[in-house]
Structure 1
Amino acid sequence: MEDGSGFWIAAVLATFCVGASKGGMPVIAMLGVPMLTLFVAPAAAAGLLLPMYILADVYAIWLFRRDFSPRNLKILIPAAAVGILLAFLCISRVPPEIGKLIVALVGLYYLGDTLRKWLARDHAARPADVPRGLFWGALSGFTSYISHAGGPPYQAYTLPQMMPKMTFVGTQAIVFACINWMKLPPYIVAGQVTWESLQRVAMLAPVALFGAWSGQRLVRWLPERIFYGVVRAALGLLSLRLLWEVAQAWGWL
């Protein structure tokens, strides 16, 4: 791995983004891997950030220990485990670009459906139902394993429920804490998490915790309507960025 000043600046920024996302700021963690890939291989970047996710997860669970939806946890966590297992079995056959393309299409589908409902004045909340939860939860685990991009499928399922913002964020924190712990053993087997990367984690840990604290404070301050507007805007920008990355990888740009 690189040890120059550029790498460490990118690592600090990426770690802060990971922490802030665990504090409740939507989708910002997705900036982490692209930042680090300027200096290290994508697999090494994902492996370096996974322990950061796990560390920030622990703090996030404590921050949101009273704000979560038990029903969603019961549906999404087992479904995500199935998705992670499928991704582990298929990882050698599925290019990372496929995972990115799936995530981008999911995000754009959700935003298009939201716009359709808004135009039709359909503002009814959808319940946390098992069939949809199993599908979106498994897809979230699958895409999270491949490219740390499980947020859009999770949001496609949970945003229509119109939960209070702190319940939405707390449920997300617990679901992805479980997903990240389940990803750790196969990442170690694949050599993406190493003793060298864990040494860097120890140095960057305070940045992750500060990011989680900052994100949580900002979420509590934001009015609920603005918060969900930010979530949807971030989801749209992320989806477009992923499409751009896929187009570049496949030589379309």
Structure 2
Amino acid sequence: MNVLSDPLTLTMAVLALLIVGISKGGMGGGLGVLGVPLMALTMPPAQAAAILLPILCVMDLMALKAFWQRWSWAHLQQLLPAAILGIVIGALTFTYFRASDVRLLVGLIAVGFALNYWFKPFQHLAMGKPGAKAGLFWGSIAGFTSFVAHAGGPPVNIYLLPQKLDKTVYQATTVLFFTSVNYVKLIPYAALGQFNSTNMGASVLLLPIAAFGIWLGYKLHHRVPEKQFFQVAYVFLFLTGCKLMVDGMQGLGVLG
């Protein structure tokens, strides 16, 4: 599908990139998970992920410069190998997923992320610091969900937040983690033929929108209350996830 040929598809892509850019630019990076679900409303989820990946890689380099060498190697050594395992699993199972399967999975991730934000079911983990086994588990989950829908944030947060790292160290650690993960994902995405001329052309043309979103997020950081921004955004994420779940179940014949 040519993203630029359909006004609705283009509108959803621009909206998704603006939200991701604003989120990364100053309102907290967690809403990067909204990109694929929003774009998947009007295009195949796999194509949405392929278009977003090069853009995310450029965004990551911007963030990496700001937090250079402030990360925790001890935590990255536990998370990154596990994340690569999750990416490999995602790549090996990619051909078995139908579009309806991916829509349902992405919808579940989106709804789960919103519910976790509102109700924090994993908050009890803060009672004790997760160890190496938890790092292996959540790191592999993050790698898999990141491969499928660029949605590795929730599993990483579940592991890292209870560690009570310094705020800058925490941010730097997540920045390097997702920079590494996204650049590793370039290899299987390319091998699976996701970077065709249509998708790459869309990535190049949408990149300025993402850059504008980052700038806008920086400007809004001191003007818009972060709490209100996230409340609206997570309602949007929840509704988008519900729509994708319904579409996925209809495609699978679960719903009429």
Tell me which interval the TM-score lies in, with the shorter structure as reference length. 0.7 to 0.9
* One-letter amino acid of the structure 1 residue matched with residue 62 of structure 2: Y
What is the CA–CA distance in structure 1 between the aligned matches of 2:220 and 2:169, rounded to whole Å? Answer: 15
Which runs of 5 or more structure 1 residues have no equivalent in the other structure?
Answer: none
The answer as to whether partners of 1:140 and 1:154 remain within 8 angstroms in 2 is: yes
Q: Please give the root-mean-square deviation of Cα atoms over the aligned residues, in Å.
A: 3.5
Residue number among 26, 31, 35 corresponding to 1:32 in the alignment: 35
* One-letter amino acid of the structure 2 residue matched with residue 249 of structure 1: G
What does residue 250 of structure 1 align with?
249
Task: Give per-residue Cα distances to partners, 1:33-79, cap 9 Å, x unaligned.
Answer: 23323443222211111111111111111122254222222211111
What is the CA–CA distance in structure 2 between the aligned matches of 1:146 and 1:66, rounded to whole Å? Answer: 29
Cα distance change, pair 129–232 in 1 and its aligned pair in 2 (3 A): farther
What does residue 174 of structure 2 align with?
172
Which runs of 5 or more structure 2 residues have no equivalent in the other structure?
Answer: none
Instruction: Tell whether 2:94 aligns with 1:91.
Output: yes
* One-letter amino acid of the structure 2 residue matched with residue 149 of structure 1: A
Q: Which moved more, 1:19-28 or 1:142-151?
A: 19-28
Instruction: Tell whether 2:87 aligns with 1:80.
Output: no
What is the CA–CA distance in structure 1 between the aligned matches of 2:122 and 2:228, rounded to whole Å? Answer: 15
How far 1:89 sits from its partner (Å)? 1.3
The two structures have a TM-score, normalised by structure 1, of: 0.77
Task: Give per-residue Cα distances to partners, 1:58-112, cap 9 Å, x unaligned.
Answer: 1111122254222222211111001101111122335323465367558757812
The answer as to whether partners of 1:16 and 1:207 remain within 8 angstroms in 2 is: yes
What does residue 54 of structure 2 align with?
51
What is the CA–CA distance in structure 1 between the aligned matches of 2:137 and 2:234, rounded to whole Å? Answer: 19
Residue number among 115, 122, 125 corresponding to 1:113 in the alignment: 122
The answer as to whether partners of 2:71 and 2:169 remain within 8 angstroms in 1 is: yes
Cα distance change, pair 9–228 in 1 and its aligned pair in 2 (3 A): closer
Cα distance change, pair 247–200 in 1 and its aligned pair in 2 (3 A): closer
How far 1:215 sits from its partner (Å)? 4.1
- Determine what percentage of the aligned residue pairs are the same residue: 32
What does residue 206 of structure 1 align with?
208
Cα distance change, pair 228–213 in 1 and its aligned pair in 2 (3 A): same
